[in-house]
């Protein structure tokens, strides 16, 4: 049994997190061009170094449009991944320490808090609040340090392979939440 269980939020605990197609449709811009711009600013937004509103101004400049409303907020409609939520509750019920480690931006995190999903965890390590993003070693070291555990004593679930590789580089037992893992009983994988 691990001393610490670390869950990614979007794509693992929450589904329906990708709002980019809805934003492309709202803005009426070319999808490929939009995704190039989005990827360029994604991590600076998530680590809190670039504001959403500055990104909107950038899009307005690049595409010659007016960004209506607050698309990062207005188009973000996540839902719970019920089996994963049940797993987290079961881990906590048996006394295990369970935390969230997420790359997130301010509007999305605000919605997550409004829905109370942050309360599923004993603690939340949120990229824009700590100024670091996965898969950097600094992000994982921050979590381990604040939790007072070694990498070998933690289990981490994430849906992005690069985050899994970053965690494994520090000796964290990392599980890639992909189609193969989706088919497995996670209670046995996590030695419950």
Give the model confidence (pLDDT) of 38-82 as tens digits. Answer: 999 999 999 999 999 999 999 999 999 999 999 999 999 999 999
The confidence score (pLDDT) of residue 178 equals 79
If asked whether residues 138 and 43 sit together in one domain, one would say no
Q: Which of 74, 104, 119 is the last residue of a domain?
A: 74
If asked whether residues 36 and 95 sit together in one domain, one would say no
Q: Which residues does 88 contact at the CB level (< 8 Å), separation at least 6?
A: 5, 7, 13, 98, 120, 121
If asked whether residues 11 and 38 sit together in one domain, one would say no
CA 5 to CA 59: how far, in whole Å? Answer: 38
- Residue 45's domain comprises 20-74
Query: What value does the mean pLDDT take over residues 103-125?
Result: 97
Query: What value does the mean pLDDT take over residues 140-166?
Result: 96
If asked whether residues 130 and 86 sit together in one domain, one would say yes
Please check whether residue 164 is in contact with residue 176, taking contact to mean a CB–CB distance below 8 angstroms: yes
User: Does 138 score more than 80 pLDDT?
Assistant: yes
Query: What value does the mean pLDDT take over residues 16-25?
Result: 96
What's the whole-number average pLDDT of the chain? 93
If asked whether residues 51 and 91 sit together in one domain, one would say no
If asked whether residues 53 and 136 sit together in one domain, one would say no
If asked whether residues 110 and 173 sit together in one domain, one would say yes
CA 47 to CA 52: how far, in whole Å? Answer: 12
CATH classification at residue 100: 3.40.50.1000
Model confidence at 189, pLDDT cuts 50, 70, 90, reads low
Model confidence at 179, pLDDT cuts 50, 70, 90, reads low
Domain count, the chain: 2
User: Does 172 score more than 70 pLDDT?
Assistant: yes
Residue 131's region, left for phi above 0, alpha for psi from -120 to 50, else beta, is left
Length of the chain equals 192
For 60, the token pair is 């307005």
If asked whether residues 58 and 148 sit together in one domain, one would say no
User: Does 185 score more than 80 pLDDT?
Assistant: no
CA 77 to CA 19: how far, in whole Å? Answer: 8
If asked whether residues 64 and 101 sit together in one domain, one would say no
If asked whether residues 50 and 128 sit together in one domain, one would say no
If asked whether residues 81 and 70 sit together in one domain, one would say no
If asked whether residues 53 and 116 sit together in one domain, one would say no
Q: What is the pLDDT of residues 110-119, one digit of tens each?
A: 999 999 999 9
The confidence score (pLDDT) of residue 1 equals 81
- What's this model's pTM, rounded to 2 decimal places? 0.93
């Amino acid at each position: 049994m691990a001393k610490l269980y670390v869950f990614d939020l979007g794509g693992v605990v929450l589904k329906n997190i990708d709002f980019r197609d809805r934003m492309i449709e709202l803005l009426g811009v070319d999808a490929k061009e939009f995704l190039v711009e989005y990827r360029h600013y994604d991590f600076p937004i998530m680590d809190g170094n670039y504001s959403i509103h500055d990104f909107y101004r950038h899009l307005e400049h690049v595409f010659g449009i007016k960004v209506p409303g607050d698309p990062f907020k207005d188009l973000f409609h996540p839902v719970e991944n019920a089996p994963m939520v049940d797993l987290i509750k079961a881990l906590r019920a048996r006394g295990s320490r369970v935390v969230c480690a997420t790359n997130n931006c301010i509007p999305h995190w605000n919605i997550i808090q409004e829905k109370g999903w942050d309360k599923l965890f004993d603690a939340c390590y949120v990229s824009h609040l700590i100024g670091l993003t996965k898969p950097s070693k600094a992000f994982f070291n921050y979590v381990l340090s604040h939790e007072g555990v070694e990498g070998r004593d933690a289990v981490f679930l994430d849906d992005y392979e690069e985050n899994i590789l970053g965690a494994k580089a520090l000796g964290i037992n990392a599980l890639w939440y992909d189609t193969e893992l989706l088919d497995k009983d996670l209670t046995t994988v996590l030695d419950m």
